[in-house]
């Protein structure tokens, strides 16, 4: 019984580590895109970023629990899998705009962060 309990505990630790890897991946990609963006629009479950180059990226959560990033004109990438919820909100800031992005994994781990066009 002790061995089973240890294995279950190790499995849970492994799952938590995987969840945080998912959250960190989403945070890293959205931060990079947002810092390169000249404008942003957030509509609850979707986020649209227009980069200085003119590239337009849309983030949304599909029905397969995948966070998807679509580049207008072609190019779709799955940023993360096993995502229960994704949301973004936008407000005005002294530098222009500020986004609050929130992600939750299927196991309930969650992370929120702010990013704006001023840093």
Q: Transcribe 11-56 into DSSP letters.
A: HHHHHHHHHHHHHHHHHHHHHHHHHTEEEEEEEBTEEEEEETTS-E
Tell me the average pLDDT of the chain: 85
Report pLDDT for 93: 75
Q: Dihedral of CA 7/19/69/77: which sign?
A: negative
Per-residue pLDDT tens for 7-56?
Answer: 455 555 577 788 888 888 889 998 888 888 888 999 878 999 998 888 99
Which pTM does this prediction carry? 0.79
Q: Dihedral of CA 6/9/14/15: which sign?
A: positive
Q: How confident is the model at residue 2 (pLDDT cuts 50, 70, 90)?
A: low
Does 1 or 65 have the greater pLDDT score? 65
| Overall size of the chain counted in residues | 119
43 close to 60: Cβ distance less than 8 angstroms = no
Mean pLDDT value of segment 84-94: 89
- Give the Cα separation of 46 and 10 in Å (integer): 35
Report pLDDT for 25: 87
Mean pLDDT value of segment 46-68: 94
């Amino acid at each position: 019984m002790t061995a089973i309990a240890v294995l279950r505990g190790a499995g849970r630790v492994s799952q938590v580590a995987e969840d945080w890897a998912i959250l960190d991946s989403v945070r890293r990609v959205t931060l990079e895109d947002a810092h390169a963006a000249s404008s942003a629009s957030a509509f609850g479950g979707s986020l649209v970023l227009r980069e200085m180059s003119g590239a337009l990226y849309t983030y949304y959560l599909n029905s397969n629990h995948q966070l998807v990033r679509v580049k207008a004109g072609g190019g779709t990438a799955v940023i993360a899998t096993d995502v229960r919820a994704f949301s973004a909100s936008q407000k005005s800031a002294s530098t222009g705009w500020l986004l609050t992005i929130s992600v939750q994994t299927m196991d309930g781990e969650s992370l929120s962060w702010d990013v704006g066009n001023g840093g």
